[in-house]
Amino acid sequence: METKKCLNCGAVLELSKYKTSLECPYCGSKYDIETDVREKIEQKANDFNEDIFRVERDFTEDRSKKQTGRCIDTLFYCMNELGTPEKIENHIRKSLLNNGDLAAEGINDSLINNVKGRIDSETEPGEHIIVYKDLGIFSKGKEFVVVTEKRLLFFTKKKCKSILYKDIDTLRLNDSGDYSAWYINGDIDKRIPSMDPSGQLTGAVVAISCLKAFEQDPGHERIRLI
């Protein structure tokens, strides 16, 4: 669908609150729209795969926020355009190349090597690491998240909690202050954090986690988004 731009200032137009017109978020200009155009816009704004997700939240306002919106847009892109865990992992690896707080096998290996013993104690031999995210500002290597081919692992200073992808039932978006973190199954200790300032990598990690849930369990119930 062609992107509509404001004739006055050139900004991308958005669907109005009551879905009756297009509005400019910057100068306030309004434009009438035809019914078929409005339906396409509504579909694009709620483009969650119904075979995988059971959506119990209106994400319209979330998508208007900078980081959270990019997170959700990247989730759509990874699920609908890339479509496989392998392609999403390649997308993730490209995004890691210029970020010193993130690592993968062959990218910023030193971060992983520093905590390899802790990771190995919670994973199977040879389990492939997709991405490592250090959470500690003043305690690097003590609080971190690891995304592997089989599970998500959440390390704190003294413990580790993990979850297999097939056990993910619910993802709750925490968008407080435009901070796009996702809580898994209502557990505050199992949280896909804001992986990067743009929010895009967060969306990619959510996408690969959901696709792997169905890869591990083809009969998996739809994942609740709340």
Angle at 69 between CA 64 and CA 72, to 5 degrees: 135
Choose between 70 and 208: higher pLDDT.
Answer: 208
Q: Which range has the worst mean pLDDT, 103-107, 134-138, 200-204, 220-224?
A: 134-138
Average pLDDT over residues 180-191: 93
Average pLDDT over residues 124-142: 86
36: pLDDT strictly greater than 60 = no
Q: How many helices (H) and strands (E) does the chain have?
A: 7, 13
**Could you report the per-residue pLDDT of 42-86, keeping only the tens digit for each?**
455 457 888 999 999 988 888 888 889 889 989 988 998 899 999
pLDDT score of 54: 93
Specify whether the backbone of 199 is left (phi greater than 0), alpha (psi in -120 to 50) or beta: left
17: pLDDT strictly greater than 70 = no
User: What is the value of pTM for the model shown?
Assistant: 0.78
Q: 189 pLDDT band (50/70/90 cuts)?
A: very high
Spell out the domain ranges in the chain: 1-45, 49-225
- 143 three-state secondary structure: coil
Choose between 123 and 198: higher pLDDT.
Answer: 123
114: pLDDT strictly greater than 50 = yes
93: pLDDT strictly greater than 90 = yes
36: its two tokens: 């078929």
pLDDT score of 149: 97
148: pLDDT strictly greater than 50 = yes
19: pLDDT strictly greater than 70 = no
Measured CA distances, 4 to 60, 79, 103, 112, 139 (Å): 18, 24, 38, 45, 47
Percent of residues, the chain, with pLDDT higher than 90: 56
1: pLDDT strictly greater than 50 = no
191: pLDDT strictly greater than 70 = yes
